[in-house]
């Protein structure tokens, strides 16, 4: 009972001392004051103290389970914090912290770098029982045992486009990152960003989680992460940050967007001299090409300059992008056999879809680099 009271007391204290900040859920000073008063009354209720007013069960029961407990306080905390603090920094510290150990390291990183902050919170908050390692049937055990499970996140930023560098923090659960981190990674495009993992644990290292993160989604540049103990000092975090190469790097262009007739597709760029020359052109800005209909199986048009060719006899497939005679690009929506140099391949589009997108007659195509 003593332990339970102390846990609730800690949760109450945390909720009360949090500064009320403007967020998507709290828009006015009056609403903020009402919310803070609600938190205080809920804390008093949970501690069986006389309260100035009884908590409104409809408003306080955030997870609508019919019980007023610390889980409701956790959800109230989420509504009191902004998704990201107003900040012009291009660096974001995104983290999940169930017991506040990872949050402490995240606080240090924010303070040392001036980064913006985003705390991931599960839509259904984790209770102490959910992460009781000794219980093989606990929620966290079940989630970690299923590589495909994705924990639903309560609130997420609409976009991460404003950030070039992302510190990604989490506790180690059973040697890996919690599945909520996988949910976050799969929700955004990290192909042009620098991602730096950091974690907290009693003894397990960060290596296995780093490998999973690298294999889960395309990442522009993933720096070597760091595992911290719960007792890690601000100085140790500062030393680690100082060892990182945070200099922005120009990302190699290996993919491009193709926009035609109001539709946008994604294509890989061939790993050859012609492909590298095309990528160099796209690095300078988008290309607009006029392609003519030819033979009922391709669209072909002039490039702004000649590219190095290494022609071989090729039987094309729908989606193939070829260099013809060194100076023309050909996009196929059907098959043909001729001597070409490969430039790329449109991804995840069927032959029937390509025919419908490109239509009949001449088209204007816009090529844009994906970084």
Quick check: 6 pLDDT over 50?
Answer: no
* pLDDT value at residue 247: 79
- Tell me what pLDDT residue 246 has: 86
Calpha distance 187→189 (Å, rounded): 7
**Does residue 24 carry a pLDDT above 60?**
no
Domain parsing of the chain, residue ranges: 1-81, 83-249, 255-370
> What pLDDT score was predicted for residue 19?
35
What local confidence, expressed as pLDDT, does residue 23 receive?
A: 33
Please report the pLDDT score of residue 3 as a whole number. 39
Burial 135-159 (b: 16+ CB within 10 A, else e): eeebbbbebbeeeeebbebbbbbee
* Span of 25-29, 124-128, 169-173, 284-288 with lowest mean pLDDT: 25-29
User: Quick one: pLDDT at residue 11?
Assistant: 43
251: pLDDT confidence band, cut at 50, 70 and 90? low
Taking the C-alpha atoms of residue 60 and residue 52, their distance in angstroms, rounded to an integer, is: 15
pLDDT at 41: 60
Structure tokens at 27: 């828009």
Share of the chain above pLDDT 90, in %: 64
CATH fold of 255-370, please?
Cyclophilin (2.40.100)
Question: Where is average pLDDT lowest: 20-29, 61-70, 82-91, 278-287?
Answer: 20-29
Quick check: 70 pLDDT over 70? no
Asked if 149 contacts 179 with a C-beta cutoff of 8 angstroms, the reply is yes
Q: Is the pLDDT of residue 21 over 60?
A: no
Q: Note the pLDDT tens digit of each residue in 313-368.
A: 999 999 999 999 999 999 999 999 999 999 999 999 999 999 999 998 999 999 99
Could you report how far apart the first and last alpha carbons of the chain are, in Å? 55
Does 64 have pLDDT greater than 80? no
Please give the Cα distance from 123 to 102 (Å, whole number).
19
Fold of 83-249: Rossmann fold (3.40.50)
Distance (Å, whole) CA 150 – CA 181: 8
CB contact at 8 A, 315 and 237: no
Averaged pLDDT, 252-273: 92
pLDDT digits (tens, 9 = 90+) for 126-173: 999 999 878 888 998 899 889 899 999 999 999 999 999 999 999 999
Q: Which residue did the predictor score with more confidence, 352 or 20?
A: 352
Predicted local distance difference test score (pLDDT) of residue 283:
87
Q: What is the mean pLDDT of the chain?
A: 83
Q: Which two tokens stand for residue 313?
A: 């006899």
**Cα-Cα-Cα-Cα dihedral sign, residues 237, 240, 242, 247:** negative
């Amino acid at each position: 009972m003593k332990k339970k009271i102390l846990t609730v007391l800690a949760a109450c204290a945390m909720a009360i001392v949090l500064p009320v900040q403007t967020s998507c859920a709290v828009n006015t000073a009056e609403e903020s004051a009402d919310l803070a008063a609600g938190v205080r009354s809920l804390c008093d209720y949970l501690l069986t103290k006389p309260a100035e007013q009884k908590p409104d069960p409809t408003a306080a029961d955030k997870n609508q389970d019919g019980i007023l407990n610390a889980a409701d306080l956790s959800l109230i905390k989420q509504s009191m914090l902004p998704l990201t603090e107003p900040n012009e920094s291009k660096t974001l510290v995104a983290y999940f912290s169930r017991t506040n150990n990872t949050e402490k390291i995240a606080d240090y990183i924010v303070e040392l770098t001036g980064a913006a902050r985003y705390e991931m919170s599960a839509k259904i908050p984790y209770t102490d029982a959910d992460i009781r390692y000794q219980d093989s049937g606990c929620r966290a055990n079940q989630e970690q045992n299923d590589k495909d499970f994705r924990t639903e996140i309560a609130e997420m930023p609409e976009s991460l486009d404003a950030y070039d560098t992302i510190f990604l923090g989490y506790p180690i659960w059973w040697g890996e990152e919690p599945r909520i981190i996988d949910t976050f990674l799969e929700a955004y495009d990290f192909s042009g960003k620098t991602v730096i993992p950091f974690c907290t644990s009693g003894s397990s290292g960060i290596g296995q989680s780093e490998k999973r993160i690298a294999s889960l989604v395309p990442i522009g540049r993933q720096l070597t992460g760091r595992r911290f103990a719960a007792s890690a000092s601000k100085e140790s975090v500062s030393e680690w940050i100082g060892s990182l190469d945070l200099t922005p790097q120009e990302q190699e262009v290996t993919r491009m967007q193709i926009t035609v007739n109001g539709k946008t597709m994604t294509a890989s760029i061939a790993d050859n001299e012609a492909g590298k020359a095309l990528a160099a052109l796209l690095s300078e800005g988008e290309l607009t090409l006029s392609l003519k209909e030819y033979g009922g199986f391709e669209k072909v048009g002039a490039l702004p300059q000649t590219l190095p060719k290494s022609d071989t006899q090729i039987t094309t497939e729908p989606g193939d992008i070829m260099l013809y005679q060194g100076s023309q690009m050909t996009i196929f929506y059907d098959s043909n056999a001729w001597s070409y140099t490969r430039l790329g391949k449109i991804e995840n589009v069927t032959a029937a879809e390509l025919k419908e997108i490109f239509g009949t007659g001449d088209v204007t195509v816009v090529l844009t680099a994906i970084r």
